[in-house]
Amino acid sequence: MIKPMEVSLTRIHASVAAKNYSYEQLMLDTLSTVRRLNPSVNAIVALQDESELLAQARQADQTPAIGALHGIPMALKDLVNVAGIVSTFGSPLLKNSIPTKDDVIAERLRRAGAIIIGKTNTPEFGFGSQTYNTVYGATATPYDISKTSGGSSGGAAAALASGMVVVADGSDMMGSLRNPAAFCNVYGFRPTYGLVPNEPRGDIFMHQLATLGPMARNIEDLAILLDVIAGPDRRHPHSLPVVSQFETAIKSTPKNNQRIGWLADWSGSYPTQPGVLQTCEKALAVFSDAGHQVEKIEAPFDRDNLWSSWIQLRSFAIASLLGEVYNNEKQRAQLKPEAIYEIESGLALTVKDISNASAIRAQWFEKANDLFSEYDILVLPSSQVFPFDKTVHWPETINGQIMDTYHRWMEVVIPASLIGLPALNVPAGFSENGLPMGMQLIGPRMSDTSLMQLAQQYHMATQWPQKRPPKIV
């Protein structure tokens, strides 16, 4: 039987090469783990026929490796169209949708040899950092199956943390790679916008808030997966070239004596549950012990301006994507309230509203660039609360402060998202009740390599996913 917290891509391939293991056995172990744990966690959905998956695994054993993911079982986030597999986007509108064509990321994963076993659960159209929908239900963190795994890549993070998959893909507009990774004690990386090309769907020029990215239990696996999914695509106008191989780069020692700016709760602007900041501050000592300078800094930009810019640009993007669905009364009736809120907010915006929101974004980008002339890395918690009850749609208050929208409790992630900065969640530790928390390492644009090198140094010192696996495993 596979040992979920110990296994890695490198170890699997080495064991197969040494004839001590096989991709067929890996598939058998994967399916066994899914059967045993998924009923409690509900991370993997649309699981494919076992006999067909085993046939694909045997084929992988009989053929030369075609890529870094050769023979590796993967379940793709249910916001990705995968040919031949039900792809619902968590919506009852698409509960019977079976695409005939792969999205870009699915193409790349298959080309690298991955065997797609099914999908990972997500909230409807990815709205909200709590993974639940009327198609498949709610997903739990394996650290407490009464609590949410976060979202919107909650199914991916929970499957990864519980050992049902070795690596996972995710996407991130408002913390959807970072928040669930924090809630499940794994790594989730939102790369520089454009490094991993989005699917060229709808308007591909104007909206630059969401991106795809990798998730893993260690930085080496994260780098290997990023090598597979990153790189330009001629169909995407903002896609960026890859200047180095990430797997090779993380083997280099990070720059010494880096200056790390700890933004904490944005000078008291972001309400946080007791214990969140303390957990992150304890984790920051790892960097101090490694010779880096950690300094607490004041909020560099007005919180209300950031939020105003964010919610308007976000609603504008969502209304552009789902406006036609909303205009169909029968389809609108099946949308969850959060989706309707976003679409109606976006449709109500004026040209001046959008222009002003984008101008604030530009101002924050300029200020962030100034900050990165003083600091190599900025750090924030990955969530303002620990994992909460999975039957609760979102936290309505934090420390007595009312959350005026369904996503206000995740405000801490927008400084990076708004301007397309790379942000990597690293596990930071646990609450007194044993619930995971993480923190965001944020770098300037195109600092993905140096960010991962620093994260590798942190991982080697902490190894939280390996040292503190969920009891469900």
Q: What is the DSSP code string of 219-287? A: HHHHHHHHHHH-S--TT-TT-----S-HHHHTTSPPPSS-EEEE-TTTTTTS---TTHHHHHHHHHHHH
* Torsion of Cα atoms, 40 then 56 then 87 then 147, to 10°: 20
Q: Name the pTM for this structure.
A: 0.98
Measured distance CA(180)–CA(79) in Å, rounded = 15
The total number of residues shown for the chain amounts to 473
| Per-domain residue ranges of the chain | 9-467
Q: What is the pLDDT of residues 142-183, one digit of tens each?
A: 999 999 999 999 999 999 999 999 999 999 999 999 999 999
Residues 6 or more apart from 107 whose CB is under 8 A from it? Answer: none
Q: What is the pLDDT of residues 92-103, one digit of tens each?
A: 999 999 999 999
Measured distance CA(139)–CA(15) in Å, rounded = 32
Second-level CATH architecture of 9-467? Alpha-Beta Complex (3.90)
Residues 6 or more apart from 91 whose CB is under 8 A from it? Answer: 124, 125, 133, 135, 334, 335
Q: In the prediction, which pLDDT does 235 show?
A: 92
Query: Is the Cα torsion angle 84, 86, 87, 93 positive or negative in sign?
Result: positive
At 188, give phi and psi (nearest 5°).
-140, 125
Q: In the prediction, which pLDDT does 4 show?
A: 52
- Token digits of residue 468: 């503190």
- The residues of the chain scoring below 50 in pLDDT are 1-2
Q: In the prediction, which pLDDT does 306 show?
A: 98
Q: In the prediction, which pLDDT does 202 show?
A: 87
Indicate the average pLDDT of the chain: 97
What is the DSSP pairing of strand 401-402 with strand 397-398? antiparallel
Q: In the prediction, which pLDDT does 234 show?
A: 94
Q: What is the pLDDT of residues 373-398, one digit of tens each?
A: 999 999 999 999 999 999 999 999 99
Q: In the prediction, which pLDDT does 1 show?
A: 46
